[in-house]
Amino acid sequence: MKTVDNYIIQKQIKLARHPLFNQITRESSLESIKLFAQYLSFWVMSFQDVLRINEMQMTDSEIRKVVHHHLVEDMGHEQWFLRDLQQLKVEEPNLKLLYSQDYIFTRDATYAIMSEVFRASSDIERVALIMSLESTGHIFFEYTASLVKRVGYSGNLKYFSIHHLDVENNHEIFEQEMQDFLNSIHLSEDEEKKICEIVDRVYQAFTIMFDGFKLLLGKQSKIKVC
Protein backbone atom coordinates (compact mmCIF):
# COMPACT_ATOMS: atom_id res chain seq x y z
CA MET A 1 0.00 0.00 0.00
CA LYS A 2 2.99 2.25 0.43
CA THR A 3 3.15 2.41 -3.35
CA VAL A 4 -0.29 4.02 -3.42
CA ASP A 5 0.66 6.51 -0.66
CA ASN A 6 3.69 7.61 -2.64
CA TYR A 7 1.60 7.82 -5.77
CA ILE A 8 -0.89 10.20 -4.13
CA ILE A 9 1.96 12.36 -2.82
CA GLN A 10 3.37 12.65 -6.33
CA LYS A 11 -0.06 13.61 -7.68
CA GLN A 12 -0.35 16.30 -4.99
CA ILE A 13 3.03 17.74 -5.91
CA LYS A 14 2.03 17.87 -9.57
CA LEU A 15 -1.36 19.46 -8.84
CA ALA A 16 0.28 22.12 -6.69
CA ARG A 17 2.12 23.27 -9.83
CA HIS A 18 -1.15 24.03 -11.63
CA PRO A 19 -1.06 27.56 -13.16
CA LEU A 20 -4.17 28.49 -11.18
CA PHE A 21 -2.22 28.33 -7.92
CA ASN A 22 0.64 30.35 -9.35
CA GLN A 23 -1.90 33.06 -10.12
CA ILE A 24 -3.42 32.87 -6.65
CA THR A 25 -0.02 33.45 -5.04
CA ARG A 26 0.23 36.74 -6.99
CA GLU A 27 -3.22 37.94 -5.91
CA SER A 28 -3.50 40.83 -3.47
CA SER A 29 -7.30 40.96 -3.24
CA LEU A 30 -10.22 38.59 -2.74
CA GLU A 31 -11.36 38.71 -6.38
CA SER A 32 -10.24 35.16 -7.15
CA ILE A 33 -11.87 33.89 -3.93
CA LYS A 34 -15.11 35.56 -4.98
CA LEU A 35 -14.89 33.79 -8.32
CA PHE A 36 -14.27 30.44 -6.63
CA ALA A 37 -17.16 31.12 -4.27
CA GLN A 38 -19.46 31.44 -7.26
CA TYR A 39 -18.19 28.68 -9.52
CA LEU A 40 -17.44 26.04 -6.88
CA SER A 41 -21.05 25.96 -5.75
CA PHE A 42 -22.14 23.01 -7.91
CA TRP A 43 -19.32 20.87 -6.50
CA VAL A 44 -19.64 22.02 -2.89
CA MET A 45 -23.34 21.25 -2.70
CA SER A 46 -22.82 17.86 -4.40
CA PHE A 47 -19.88 16.82 -2.25
CA GLN A 48 -22.07 15.75 0.68
CA ASP A 49 -23.93 13.35 -1.61
CA VAL A 50 -20.65 11.91 -2.89
CA LEU A 51 -19.62 11.07 0.69
CA ARG A 52 -23.08 9.85 1.70
CA ILE A 53 -23.62 7.54 -1.27
CA ASN A 54 -20.05 6.27 -1.10
CA GLU A 55 -20.61 5.26 2.53
CA MET A 56 -23.86 3.52 1.60
CA GLN A 57 -21.94 1.23 -0.77
CA MET A 58 -19.62 -0.01 2.00
CA THR A 59 -19.96 -3.71 2.78
CA ASP A 60 -17.59 -4.06 5.77
CA SER A 61 -19.32 -2.76 8.91
CA GLU A 62 -16.08 -1.75 10.67
CA ILE A 63 -14.81 0.20 7.69
CA ARG A 64 -18.21 1.79 7.29
CA LYS A 65 -18.08 3.04 10.91
CA VAL A 66 -14.79 4.81 10.29
CA VAL A 67 -16.00 6.24 6.98
CA HIS A 68 -19.20 7.42 8.68
CA HIS A 69 -17.12 9.24 11.27
CA HIS A 70 -15.35 11.02 8.44
CA LEU A 71 -18.68 11.90 6.83
CA VAL A 72 -19.95 13.36 10.10
CA GLU A 73 -16.79 15.49 10.41
CA ASP A 74 -17.39 16.87 6.91
CA MET A 75 -21.10 17.55 7.42
CA GLY A 76 -22.04 21.21 7.43
CA HIS A 77 -19.13 22.39 5.33
CA GLU A 78 -21.62 23.49 2.69
CA GLN A 79 -23.11 25.79 5.33
CA TRP A 80 -19.68 27.37 5.84
CA PHE A 81 -19.57 27.85 2.09
CA LEU A 82 -23.00 29.54 1.98
CA ARG A 83 -21.99 31.76 4.89
CA ASP A 84 -18.82 32.76 3.04
CA LEU A 85 -20.93 33.70 0.01
CA GLN A 86 -22.80 36.15 2.21
CA GLN A 87 -19.60 37.52 3.74
CA LEU A 88 -18.10 38.04 0.29
CA LYS A 89 -21.37 39.54 -0.99
CA VAL A 90 -21.54 36.91 -3.73
CA GLU A 91 -25.07 36.01 -4.76
CA GLU A 92 -26.01 32.34 -4.60
CA PRO A 93 -26.10 31.12 -8.23
CA ASN A 94 -29.53 30.20 -9.56
CA LEU A 95 -30.33 27.21 -11.76
CA LYS A 96 -29.79 29.21 -14.92
CA LEU A 97 -26.23 30.02 -13.85
CA LEU A 98 -25.45 26.58 -12.44
CA TYR A 99 -26.21 25.01 -15.81
CA SER A 100 -24.66 27.74 -17.92
CA GLN A 101 -21.56 27.40 -20.11
CA ASP A 102 -19.25 28.98 -17.51
CA TYR A 103 -20.13 26.25 -15.01
CA ILE A 104 -19.41 23.40 -17.40
CA PHE A 105 -15.95 22.72 -15.89
CA THR A 106 -17.34 22.34 -12.39
CA ARG A 107 -20.23 20.20 -13.55
CA ASP A 108 -18.05 17.90 -15.64
CA ALA A 109 -15.62 17.42 -12.74
CA THR A 110 -18.47 16.74 -10.30
CA TYR A 111 -20.09 14.17 -12.57
CA ALA A 112 -16.73 12.44 -13.12
CA ILE A 113 -16.14 12.16 -9.36
CA MET A 114 -19.67 10.99 -8.66
CA SER A 115 -19.23 8.26 -11.28
CA GLU A 116 -16.38 6.86 -9.18
CA VAL A 117 -18.81 6.17 -6.34
CA PHE A 118 -20.74 3.76 -8.56
CA ARG A 119 -17.71 2.42 -10.42
CA ALA A 120 -15.90 1.25 -7.25
CA SER A 121 -16.21 -2.50 -6.74
CA SER A 122 -14.65 -2.86 -3.27
CA ASP A 123 -14.38 -1.05 0.04
CA ILE A 124 -10.67 -0.54 -0.63
CA GLU A 125 -11.52 1.42 -3.77
CA ARG A 126 -14.20 3.41 -1.92
CA VAL A 127 -11.70 4.37 0.77
CA ALA A 128 -9.17 5.28 -1.93
CA LEU A 129 -11.76 7.63 -3.43
CA ILE A 130 -12.17 9.47 -0.12
CA MET A 131 -8.42 9.69 0.41
CA SER A 132 -8.00 11.08 -3.11
CA LEU A 133 -10.60 13.75 -2.43
CA GLU A 134 -8.93 14.61 0.86
CA SER A 135 -5.54 14.98 -0.80
CA THR A 136 -6.80 17.31 -3.53
CA GLY A 137 -8.65 19.40 -0.93
CA HIS A 138 -5.46 19.91 1.06
CA ILE A 139 -3.79 21.52 -1.96
CA PHE A 140 -6.70 23.81 -2.82
CA PHE A 141 -7.37 25.01 0.71
CA GLU A 142 -3.69 25.68 1.41
CA TYR A 143 -3.69 28.26 -1.36
CA THR A 144 -7.08 29.83 -0.60
CA ALA A 145 -6.31 30.02 3.13
CA SER A 146 -2.96 31.66 2.38
CA LEU A 147 -4.60 34.30 0.18
CA VAL A 148 -7.39 35.00 2.67
CA LYS A 149 -4.82 35.40 5.44
CA ARG A 150 -2.65 37.63 3.23
CA VAL A 151 -5.48 40.10 2.71
CA GLY A 152 -6.47 40.02 6.40
CA TYR A 153 -9.84 38.34 5.95
CA SER A 154 -9.35 35.07 7.85
CA GLY A 155 -11.64 36.09 10.68
CA ASN A 156 -14.54 36.66 8.29
CA LEU A 157 -14.53 33.37 6.37
CA LYS A 158 -14.76 29.70 7.29
CA TYR A 159 -14.81 27.64 4.09
CA PHE A 160 -11.98 29.44 2.30
CA SER A 161 -9.88 30.28 5.35
CA ILE A 162 -7.38 28.56 7.63
CA HIS A 163 -10.38 27.33 9.65
CA HIS A 164 -11.30 24.82 6.94
CA LEU A 165 -7.70 23.82 6.33
CA ASP A 166 -7.23 23.10 10.03
CA VAL A 167 -10.31 20.89 10.04
CA GLU A 168 -9.04 19.00 7.00
CA ASN A 169 -5.64 18.53 8.62
CA ASN A 170 -7.31 17.23 11.78
CA HIS A 171 -8.76 14.24 9.93
CA GLU A 172 -5.75 12.38 11.25
CA ILE A 173 -7.80 9.77 13.12
CA PHE A 174 -9.73 8.84 9.99
CA GLU A 175 -6.62 8.82 7.84
CA GLN A 176 -4.64 6.74 10.35
CA GLU A 177 -7.42 4.18 10.75
CA MET A 178 -7.81 3.94 7.00
CA GLN A 179 -4.06 3.67 6.62
CA ASP A 180 -3.94 0.88 9.20
CA PHE A 181 -6.75 -0.91 7.39
CA LEU A 182 -5.09 -0.59 4.01
CA ASN A 183 -1.69 -1.59 5.37
CA SER A 184 -3.23 -4.74 6.84
CA ILE A 185 -4.36 -5.88 3.42
CA HIS A 186 -2.07 -7.33 0.82
CA LEU A 187 -2.93 -5.72 -2.48
CA SER A 188 -2.25 -7.51 -5.71
CA GLU A 189 -0.65 -5.62 -8.57
CA ASP A 190 -4.04 -5.48 -10.25
CA GLU A 191 -5.68 -4.00 -7.12
CA GLU A 192 -2.94 -1.40 -6.76
CA LYS A 193 -3.33 -0.54 -10.43
CA LYS A 194 -7.10 -0.05 -10.04
CA ILE A 195 -6.60 2.20 -7.00
CA CYS A 196 -3.99 4.29 -8.78
CA GLU A 197 -6.41 4.64 -11.69
CA ILE A 198 -9.05 5.99 -9.28
CA VAL A 199 -6.50 8.52 -7.98
CA ASP A 200 -5.69 9.47 -11.57
CA ARG A 201 -9.32 10.06 -12.46
CA VAL A 202 -10.02 12.14 -9.35
CA TYR A 203 -6.99 14.32 -10.01
CA GLN A 204 -7.94 14.63 -13.67
CA ALA A 205 -11.42 15.80 -12.64
CA PHE A 206 -9.98 18.53 -10.42
CA THR A 207 -7.51 19.50 -13.12
CA ILE A 208 -10.47 20.05 -15.44
CA MET A 209 -12.14 22.19 -12.79
CA PHE A 210 -9.00 24.23 -12.08
CA ASP A 211 -8.34 24.69 -15.81
CA GLY A 212 -11.80 26.22 -16.01
CA PHE A 213 -11.18 28.51 -13.05
CA LYS A 214 -7.94 29.68 -14.64
CA LEU A 215 -9.80 30.57 -17.84
CA LEU A 216 -12.52 32.38 -15.91
CA LEU A 217 -9.95 34.35 -13.91
CA GLY A 218 -8.29 35.35 -17.16
CA LYS A 219 -11.64 36.43 -18.58
CA GLN A 220 -12.32 38.44 -15.41
CA SER A 221 -8.96 40.19 -15.67
CA LYS A 222 -9.58 41.17 -19.31
CA ILE A 223 -12.95 42.69 -18.39
CA LYS A 224 -11.29 44.80 -15.70
CA VAL A 225 -8.65 46.06 -18.13
CA CYS A 226 -11.32 46.99 -20.65
Task: Identify the CA nearest to 57 among candidates 48, 67, 47, 70.
Answer: 67
pTM equals 0.89
Sign of CA dihedral 121, 126, 128, 134: positive
pLDDT for residue 159 = 93
Contact 73, 174 (CB under 8 A): yes
Give the range of the structural domain holding residue 16, as residue numbers without chain letter.
2-225
Q: How many residues does the chain have?
A: 226
- Considering its fold, how many domains does the chain have in total? 1
- Kindly report the number of other CB atoms within 10 A of residue 162's CB atom: 19
8 C-beta neighbours (distance < 10 Å), count: 20
Q: According to the model, what pLDDT value does residue 221 have?
A: 61
Here the CATH number for the domain that contains residue 31 is: 1.20.910.10
pLDDT in tens, 167-216: 666 665 556 666 676 667 778 889 899 999 999 999 999 999 999 999 99
DSSP string, 10-36: HHHHHHTT-HHHHHHHT--SSHHHHHH
* pLDDT score at 35: 92
The parts of the chain modelled with pLDDT lower than 70 are: 1-2, 167-179, 181-183, 221-226
pLDDT of residue 224: 55
What pLDDT shows up at residue 225?
A: 45
